[in-house]
Amino acid sequence: MHVMIFGCGYSGTAIAKAFAGDGVRVSGTTRSQDKMDVLRQNGIDAFLFDGETMEARLVQALADVTHLVQSIAPGKADPLLRLLGEEGASLLPRLEWIGYLSTVGVYGDHKGAWIDEETPCVPVSGRSKERLEAEAGWLAMGRQRGVPAAVLRLSGIYGPGRNAFCNLEKGTARRLIKKDQVFNRIRVEDIGAATRFLSEHGLSGIYNVTDNRPGPPQDVIVEAARLMGVEPPPEQAFETAELTPMARTFYGENKRVSNAKLKAAGFEFSFPDYPMSLAQLWQDGRWRG
């Protein structure tokens, strides 16, 4: 088995760790030379990929790739789909499974209602519209190649090195209050495990990869502060808070995302909700990464 992860960042590295084992070659791409060393330290065969052209070494590696995971965010179009284009079959002759990492942002705003994979997508941001187009492109490639292609719609990602404890320690945690606002989230190790699960079972189609417990974002900060034994930051009204345009768009979408389809397929979350997940991160001391 040869797993190739395009855009091997935070989630990609967790996916690499989930697949690692005897008889498995794991490769990953990054844009920067510096990050290549980090990937190698994690046992990942590293390649440079700028989204524009593929170096000869990367093209050569694709020849025996069996599992392709695409984690690079689309721009005006998916950079990898564009490059594979007509040549996909010759570049990836041994392909058995495709995984595409997307976002629950494609659903848009549903006023806090529960939604699932059958819910119509009404994306708000340009980013989410681009994601939807990329999803369709990868599902179409799977059909053309006759291999399963799974779209993993991810909610807010956190885990070691990226969590409310880190934000509290750095002094960047904010307790923004917006009436009735909820978000889903997902522990990064569960992204890795879900990707491996979907590939092992040859599953295709769209899956929400998210925890069981959507909740107000300020509650996560309060719970992390409680575990740390520190005072949570003061409450701030969302309406008057200074936010980047990107942060503001996140708050423009309010929904409760169901993971029932993934669980019905047989997947078991190791971190099904944020209180137990935060407690585990704090207790094992790896929260800083």
Q: Would the pTM of this model clear 0.85, i.e. be above it?
A: yes
- For the record, the structure tokens of 223 come out as 């719970």
Q: Partners of 101 in the beta sheet?
A: 152
Let me know: does 105 contact 165? Beta carbons within 8 Å: no
User: Which residue type, as a one-letter code, is found at position 10?
Assistant: Y
Q: Rounded to whole angstroms, how far apart are CA atoms 258 and 110?
A: 13
Task: Report pLDDT for 126.
Answer: 87
* Listed residue (167, 169, 145) closest to 158, CA to CA: 167
pLDDT at 165: 98
Beta bridge partners of 99: 69, 150
How far, in whole angstroms, is CA 187 from its chain's centroid? 9
**246-276: string of b/e by CB count within 10 Å (b at 16+)?**
eeebbbebbbbbbbeebeeeebebebbebbe
CATH number of the structural domain 2-157+185-209: 3.40.50.720
Predicted confidence (pLDDT) per residue in 218-257, tens digit: 999 999 999 999 999 999 999 999 999 888 888 999 999 9
Pairing between β-strand 156-158 and β-strand 185-187 as defined by DSSP bridges: parallel
How far is residue 187 from each of residues 113, 117, 209, measured CA to CA in Å? 22, 20, 10
Residue spans of the chain under pLDDT 50: none
